[in-house]
A and B are shown apart, each in its own frame.
Chain A
């Protein structure tokens, strides 16, 4: 829990990560529902695009800085910025201030934004004090800890706590749940063979649990893992944790045929 008292109905700017916006809108609706159920006022600013992480991780610092400025402008008036991705939110929280090392004014704005930016599930539990959700999911899940969320933001217990309150759902932990799945942004297309090996290690551990569903908190990892599962013809379903928590995991899972 954070020390500063939370306003009764905090105004939350929902960051629609570029992957979520294009590939999986239901994660956005799930996020909005969970935030509203927790008592937040949710807005989705139309001026938002990408957090700049692709440039930042591929060497284009200038490009990343330009997109960071744009995001700061779009979101700095909200009480909080929340996004359903550990990786994008870690970029905002940990990398934005460093991008403006020599620009005192922007650095201050970046730090202020960083301090109120959160990954969705940790925001719900750590800031809003949510301990359970009203949802049902009939299946056995295993949860993959995506790296940025886990190691940069300390997201580990929060999703498990909330998933524990979903009716009908059983959690089975896999071996090496904290080991990278091999997505790594552009890594997965630059070094596809290594990425494939890492995905297979992860999926073998997941399969050994006997779970019928694989959950995680970062769509990049999930697209990569679901894509590999579909290629191998596996029936294991893949959803973003927020979809299950919001009761929106009734449609086709990632890569699954329309039902």
Chain B
């Protein structure tokens, strides 16, 4: 996937002026925010479950090697194979190898953000495979040749009319605008692909160490068909997605759907444990799990370990007013919104990702809904500290901070400077109460006036009235 985070600023402004995008984004509130709140409200133990989920994740992360070994042993015992990929390139090499050995030509894919992280589609297509995304949202953006803009609703930036145009062009059928008819048309086209694909690739929401099962949750059932009808099933997931037991899984299943879409549960929760066994009526002949590290093990034990608790529910972006204003593409890589603004600099590096942790008001709404209680604003601020230490903060801003500190460390100078400042601003406003422009404007008056001060500081007025108390 192309890395366009360096263009964040221009892409964000562009997004603000994209009428279709703005229309699509305005629907997310009713779709996600309201429903999540209702679901959380309807379940008295929801807050306690969030704590439990965070504890389980912390325990796993503190003992990750142990659980990965356990998981691998269970997968192997069930007849499957676990592959560890250190980075995206490694993962592509492993998966291309499996597809080649399987003699594949057509590959179906369920939604997997990790495969986006691997840049898998591009690599498969370059090697001559036909790749068919089977999640409706992924299918839409594949037709549009665009990356996902949301981790659970990849085509959320598209309006129904845009989808109608895409389908009409790709399917060579009369243009439909009814939602149900559009879905039916996609189903029809995809159906044939499931039966003829040699390899099916899915994600893995959870990996259960005790049983060696990979678990996916979907609303369309496309994942089931993708993984049971192909000869070879490949699961792509991150090394941090392992959890100890099925009991633990039940905790996550109860908070995931509620946090993501406000559903009590997704329509399909599918377990895969190894390939088809004797007597099974269906299932793949081979079962592979490719576990991606890609910087995750470096987060272990660091100030960013909390980020590895993430279960990819999307609640943080659904509730982020910056994401809600600009959509996911402006962030320029696989993961948008608050979680992406933490992950992208950590995975892709500090170069080119300066804006992501800075384009945040630290309003904390993401943290208040994160089912595994990741302190996203604190982590974003932590990255800003790293940027500052690495001297990446823009020079003018650094100078301003330095000057501010110098003055603020000297109360007498500070109060003198504020006194002069407010007198100048007040006289410039000349009784109008506001300023339309400022000399040395840092960016305030483009869209707003500056309410003018009255001309005296609080401290000088207080001291005049009440003396130094």
B68 to chain A, nearest CB (A): 31
- Of residues 168 to 198 in A, which have CB atoms within 8 Å of B's CB atoms? 178-180, 182-198
A167 interface residue per 8 A CB criterion: no
Of B360, B386, B447, B449, the most chain A CB neighbours within 10 A belong to B447
Could you tell me if B405 and A67 are in contact, using CB atoms closer than 8 angstroms? yes
Could you tell me if B411 and A179 are in contact, using CB atoms closer than 8 angstroms? no
Could you tell me if B397 and A23 are in contact, using CB atoms closer than 8 angstroms? no
Write out, one digit per residue, whether chain A residues 33-59 have a CB within 8 A of any chain B CB (1) or not (0): 000000000111011111010111111
Could you tell me if A184 and B360 are in contact, using CB atoms closer than 8 angstroms? yes
Alpha-carbon distance A129/B256, docked complex (angstroms): 41
A18 interface residue per 8 A CB criterion: yes
> Which of chain B's residues have a CB closer than 8 A to the CB of A224?
448
Could you tell me if B364 and A152 are in contact, using CB atoms closer than 8 angstroms? yes
Could you tell me if A198 and B325 are in contact, using CB atoms closer than 8 angstroms? yes
Within 8 Å by CB of B459, from A44, A55, A70, lies A44
> Which of chain A's residues have a CB closer than 8 A to the CB of B432?
257
> Which of chain B's residues have a CB closer than 8 A to the CB of A178?
365
> Which of chain A's residues have a CB closer than 8 A to the CB of B415?
46, 49
B374 to chain A, nearest CB (A): 15
> Which of chain B's residues have a CB closer than 8 A to the CB of A147?
361-365
> Which of chain A's residues have a CB closer than 8 A to the CB of B386?
59
The residue of chain A having its C-beta at the shortest distance from the C-beta of B368 within the complex is: A151
A130 interface residue per 8 A CB criterion: no
B28 to chain A, nearest CB (A): 13
Write out, one digit per residue, whether chain A residues 237-259 have a CB within 8 A of any chain B CB (1) or not (0): 01000000000000010111110
> Which of chain B's residues have a CB closer than 8 A to the CB of A109?
none
Could you tell me if B326 and A57 are in contact, using CB atoms closer than 8 angstroms? no
Alpha-carbon distance A160/B363, docked complex (angstroms): 21
B444 interface residue per 8 A CB criterion: yes
> Which of chain B's residues have a CB closer than 8 A to the CB of A63?
401-402, 404-405
Could you tell me if A25 and B456 are in contact, using CB atoms closer than 8 angstroms? yes
A73 to chain B, nearest CB (A): 11
Write out, one digit per residue, whether chain B residues 439-464 have a CB within 8 A of any chain A CB (1) or not (0): 00011111111111110111101110
Among B9-17, B87-95, B113-121, B215-223, the stretch in contact with A? B9-17
Could you tell me if B448 and A60 are in contact, using CB atoms closer than 8 angstroms? no
> Which of chain B's residues have a CB closer than 8 A to the CB of A70?
408-409, 411
Could you tell me if B457 and A25 are in contact, using CB atoms closer than 8 angstroms? yes
Known: A58-B393, A189-B442, A194-B325. A23 touches B358 (CB 8 A): no
Within 8 Å by CB of A180, from B363, B405, B445, B453, lies B363
B65 interface residue per 8 A CB criterion: no
Could you tell me if B388 and A58 are in contact, using CB atoms closer than 8 angstroms? yes
Could you tell me if B325 and A227 are in contact, using CB atoms closer than 8 angstroms? no
A26 to chain B, nearest CB (A): 8
Could you tell me if A194 and B401 are in contact, using CB atoms closer than 8 angstroms? no
The residue of chain B having its C-beta at the shortest distance from the C-beta of A59 within the complex is: B388
> Which of chain A's residues have a CB closer than 8 A to the CB of B457?
21-22, 25
A28 interface residue per 8 A CB criterion: yes
Within 8 Å by CB of B452, from A25, A47, A56, A255, lies A255
Could you tell me if A256 and B387 are in contact, using CB atoms closer than 8 angstroms? no
- Of residues 403 to 417 in B, which have CB atoms within 8 Å of A's CB atoms? 404-405, 407-409, 411, 414-415
Known: A25-B457, A66-B405. A257 touches B431 (CB 8 A): yes
> Which of chain B's residues have a CB closer than 8 A to the CB of A42?
469
Alpha-carbon distance A258/B430, docked complex (angstroms): 9
The residue of chain A having its C-beta at the shortest distance from the C-beta of B409 within the complex is: A66
Could you tell me if A197 and B364 are in contact, using CB atoms closer than 8 angstroms? no
Q: What is the number of contacts between chain A and chain B, taking CB atoms within 8 Å? A: 216
> Which of chain B's residues have a CB closer than 8 A to the CB of A116?
none
- Of residues 127 to 158 in A, which have CB atoms within 8 Å of B's CB atoms? 147-148, 151-152
Judged by DSSP, the binding face of B is helix
A49 to chain B, nearest CB (A): 4
Could you tell me if A46 and B459 are in contact, using CB atoms closer than 8 angstroms? yes
Known: A58-B397, A199-B448. A194 touches B443 (CB 8 A): no
A212 interface residue per 8 A CB criterion: no
B434 interface residue per 8 A CB criterion: yes
Could you tell me if B385 and A47 are in contact, using CB atoms closer than 8 angstroms? no
Could you tell me if A58 and B384 are in contact, using CB atoms closer than 8 angstroms? yes
The residue of chain A having its C-beta at the shortest distance from the C-beta of B12 within the complex is: A194
Could you tell me if A231 and B433 are in contact, using CB atoms closer than 8 angstroms? no
A215 to chain B, nearest CB (A): 15
B381 interface residue per 8 A CB criterion: yes
Could you tell me if B361 and A184 are in contact, using CB atoms closer than 8 angstroms? yes
A143 to chain B, nearest CB (A): 16
Known: A50-B404, A191-B359, A198-B325. A23 touches B451 (CB 8 A): yes
B23 to chain A, nearest CB (A): 14
Could you tell me if A180 and B361 are in contact, using CB atoms closer than 8 angstroms? yes
Could you tell me if A59 and B359 are in contact, using CB atoms closer than 8 angstroms? no
Could you tell me if A59 and B384 are in contact, using CB atoms closer than 8 angstroms? yes
Alpha-carbon distance A61/B405, docked complex (angstroms): 11
A107 interface residue per 8 A CB criterion: no
Within 8 Å by CB of A22, from B384, B387, B433, B453, lies B453
B25 to chain A, nearest CB (A): 10
Known: A23-B453, A58-B393, A183-B361. A196 touches B448 (CB 8 A): yes
A114 interface residue per 8 A CB criterion: no
Alpha-carbon distance A59/B321, docked complex (angstroms): 22
> Which of chain A's residues have a CB closer than 8 A to the CB of B363?
147, 151, 179-180, 184
B253 interface residue per 8 A CB criterion: no
Alpha-carbon distance A54/B9, docked complex (angstroms): 22
Write out, one digit per residue, whether chain A residues 6-36 have a CB within 8 A of any chain B CB (1) or not (0): 0000000000101011111111110010000
B421 interface residue per 8 A CB criterion: yes
Given contacts A63-B402, A192-B443, 5 further A-B contacts (CB under 8 A): A57-B362, A58-B384, A58-B397, A188-B444, A227-B450
Which 10 residue pairs across A and B have the least CB separation, nearest first?
A184-B361, A59-B388, A227-B448, A255-B451, A189-B443, A180-B363, A147-B363, A25-B458, A28-B458, A196-B447
Q: Which B positions have Cβ atoms within 8 angstroms of A?
A: 9, 12-13, 16, 321-322, 325-326, 358-365, 367-368, 381, 384-389, 393, 397-398, 401-402, 404-405, 407-409, 411, 414-415, 418, 421-422, 431-434, 436, 442-454, 456-459, 461-463, 466, 468-469
Give 7 pairs: A residue, B residue, CB < 8 Å, sorted on A: A25-B456, A58-B401, A59-B389, A179-B365, A230-B434, A256-B434, A257-B434
